[in-house]
Every structure is written in structure tokens, then in C-alpha cells.
């Protein structure tokens, strides 16, 4: 077939023609409309925004085809230059003079701000407050171990920098959320601090060191804990057999030695009584402790009317 004669020469010619065409169209300058994030507001030194700027602007840019296909310049966003304003509230008209691309690549330029063409800037003096750090950690020890109450954060206080009018609303700085399970040994880790949402906030330093002590649990026995019956019917006297139980509790040694028996509640729910008169035992204790075992798992519910008791 004549179509296949000199096939490779024809294929190479076709590819070269495509490359020439592609080069020509990508060297052409285009006007392109797109939404871009506002990533920087340039202000005078020691000033910041009390309220965040708009998230993005609809703008028109000029660039050749090759530069338009690049993505990085889009993510860098836009800079609004407001260095002419002191502290206060202003309505600022946006245009290509005071709004620009941040580090554009190639020959890309901003032609016009399409929407919005005006923004309200609430400019505030920058201030600093010192706040305590709160660790946002869920730490769970392995069987036979417990997380000590001693969780050390260093430094214990950090500086929050931001708009002066808003800083009074903050009382602590949290670490990033961290979940730790099956701990058998003490652990030290570095956690980033969570900067408050909004524009112009900084935390100094931006991370802290958190140390968590993990210790072998200690067992303590509580004898003769009274069983409480909840939701019993009126005009009836409800007791249990046995009326008291023995509970073995485990927890951090320094805490369990101080734990008062009044912090434990042993109870049954009358509404959950089985046909044979038994109710499952429920033992409530502070979160840092675990019930190892109890002398019984359920108790017999005994009901007497007031008349039976002589009332």
C-alpha cells in the first residue's frame, strides 16, 4: 500500500510538524481569567489584620501558553500591598497596581482584578501574650501498665503573636492531636503547636517537647463496697444479695494509694433484672483506673413492700 510506503519518514515528519505547531501556539500570549488565593497582605511593620482577608480573587493574567500550563505560580497566590495604611479600618480598591502575583514564573503578569474589586481591611497593632500549653494527647497504656498523671510539657508556656484586639480571647495553646496506644515505656516526643485560625497569628516557638511517664500498675483491694440499686419502684424496699462486694482496682501507684473508696460506685439497674431475679453489677471508677476483678459479677435482687417492713 502506498499509504505505508516510507512509513517511518512520514511518522517522523508528522511528529516534527506537531512539535512545531505546539511551539507556535504555546509561544502565543493569552489572557486568562482564574480564581487565585490571597496568600499575603503586605502591611507596615508591627501591624497585622484583626480579621482575615478574602480567601481568593478572580483576576485576569497575561502569559504565553507554556507559562499558563505551569501550576506552581497559581498556588503561590496573590499579594495585596497595603503598606500605606496605619492601624484602622479601610475600604481598599483593588487593581493591578496594589495587587500582584507572588514570584510568578516566566512572563506572567496580572492585568486586572475582576472580583471583588474592593476589600475591607481591619488593621490592628501586633501584640504578644504568653499562654500555657495544653497537650492534646490520648495515651493508653498496655495491659499491666498505666499512664502517670505526670505529663510534662517543655516549654510550659509560649508566646502568641497576633492582632492586639483579639488576643484576650485566648487562654491556652494546644498541641497537635496525638493518639498513643499500647504504651509500655515512658515516651518523649516533639509536637507542633496549633496556631489559632485566622490571619496574622504566630506561635513562638512553634513546637514543644512532651514527656509521658508510663509505670507498672499497682493493685489495690476495696472490701465491703455497698451495692446501690438505681431505678427501683416506689413503695418498695429493694436490697441485694450479697449487699456488699469486693473489688480489685489497678492504676498508677501514686494515684491509687490516694484513691478514696467513696470515688467508687458499685450499682445495679432494677430495670435490667433478669427473670430469675439477677442484675449485672456495674462498677464506676475514675478514668485513670481499671477494675481488675470483683467478688461477683451479678447480685440477686430482693424486693419487699413497705408494709412488709413494718411501715
Which residue ranges make up each domain of the chain? 27-116, 126-216, 218-309
The pLDDT value given to residue 15: 66
Q: List residues bridging with 247 in a β-sheet.
A: 222, 294
The pLDDT value given to residue 74: 77
Q: What is the pLDDT of residues 281-293, one digit of tens each?
A: 999 999 878 899 9
User: CB-based contacts of 2: which residues, under 8 Å, 6+ apart?
Assistant: none
Is the Cβ–Cβ distance between 61 and 31 less than 8 Å? yes
The pLDDT mean for the chain works out to 87
Matching CATH number, 126-216, of 2.170.120.40, 2.60.40.10, 3.30.360.10, 3.50.50.60: 2.170.120.40
Dist. CA 239–CA 277, nearest whole Å:
12
Among residues 114, 147, 154, which one has the least CA distance to residue 34?
Answer: 114
The band of 311, judged by pLDDT with boundaries at 50, 70 and 90, is very low
Considering the segment(s) 218-309 as one domain, its CATH architecture is Beta Complex (2.170)
Percent of the chain's residues with pLDDT above 70: 85
The pLDDT value given to residue 255: 87
The pLDDT value given to residue 164: 93
DSSP string, 7-61: HHHHHHHHHHHHHHHHHHHHHSEEEEEEEEEEEEEE--TTEEESS---SEEEEEE
Dist. CA 36–CA 74, nearest whole Å:
6
The band of 27, judged by pLDDT with boundaries at 50, 70 and 90, is low
- Residue 6 pLDDT exceeds 60: no
Point out the least confidently predicted range of 65-69, 96-100, 146-150, 262-266: 65-69
Helix H or strand E encompassing 75: helix 72-76
- Residue 109 pLDDT exceeds 50: yes
- Residue 309 pLDDT exceeds 50: no
User: CB-based contacts of 158: which residues, under 8 Å, 6+ apart?
Assistant: 130, 131, 133, 173, 193, 203, 204, 205, 208
Count of other CB atoms within 10 angstroms of residue 251: 23
Q: What is the pLDDT of residues 154-196, one digit of tens each?
A: 999 999 999 999 999 999 999 999 999 999 999 999 999 999 9
218-309: same fold as 126-216? yes
Task: Look up residue 287 and give its DSSP letter.
Answer: T
Three cell numbers written together for 71: 501550576
Residue located via cell numbers 483506673: 289
Amino acid at each position: 500500500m502506498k499509504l505505508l510506503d516510507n512509513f517511518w519518514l512520514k511518522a517522523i515528519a508528522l511528529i516534527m510538524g506537531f512539535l512545531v505547531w505546539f511551539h507556535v501556539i504555546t509561544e502565543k500570549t493569552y489572557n486568562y481569567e482564574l480564581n487565585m488565593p490571597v496568600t499575603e497582605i503586605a502591611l507596615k511593620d508591627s501591624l497585622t489584620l484583626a480579621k482575615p482577608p478574602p480567601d481568593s480573587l478572580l483576576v485576569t493574567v497575561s502569559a504565553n501558553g507554556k507559562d499558563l500550563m505551569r501550576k506552581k505560580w497559581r498556588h503561590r497566590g496573590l499579594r495585596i500591598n497595603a503598606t500605606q495604611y496605619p492601624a484602622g479600618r479601610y475600604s481598599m480598591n483593588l487593581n493591578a497596581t496594589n495587587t500582584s502575583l507572588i514570584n510568578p514564573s516566566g512572563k506572567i503578569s496580572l492585568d486586572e482584578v475582576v472580583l471583588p474589586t474592593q476589600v475591607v481591611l481591619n488593621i490592628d497593632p501586633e501584640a504578644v501574650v504568653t499562654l500555657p500549653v495544653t497537650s492534646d494527647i490520648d495515651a493508653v497504656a498496655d495491659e499491666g501498665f498505666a499512664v502517670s498523671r505526670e505529663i510534662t510539657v517543655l516549654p510550659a508556656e509560649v508566646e502568641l503573636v497576633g492582632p492586639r484586639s483579639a488576643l484576650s480571647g485566648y487562654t491556652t495553646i494546644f498541641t497537635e492531636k496525638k493518639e498513643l496506644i499500647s504504651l509500655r515505656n515512658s515516651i518523649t516526643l516533639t509536637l507542633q503547636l496549633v496556631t489559632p485560625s485566622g490571619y496574622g497569628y504566630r506561635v513562638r516557638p512553634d513546637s514543644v517537647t512532651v514527656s509521658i511517664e508510663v509505670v507498672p500498675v499497682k493493685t489495690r483491694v476495696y472490701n465491703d463496697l455497698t451495692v446501690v440499686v438505681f431505678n427501683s419502684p416506689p413503695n418498695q424496699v429493694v436490697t441485694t444479695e450479697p449487699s456488699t462486694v469486693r473489688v480489685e482496682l489497678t492504676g498508677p501507684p501514686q494515684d491509687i494509694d490516694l484513691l478514696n473508696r467513696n470515688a467508687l460506685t458499685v450499682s445495679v439497674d432494677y430495670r435490667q433484672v433478669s427473670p430469675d431475679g439477677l442484675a449485672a453489677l456495674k462498677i464506676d471508677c475514675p478514668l485513670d483506673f481499671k477494675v481488675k476483678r470483683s467478688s461477683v459479677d451479678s447480685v440477686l435482687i430482693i424486693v419487699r413492700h413497705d408494709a412488709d417492713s413494718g411501715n
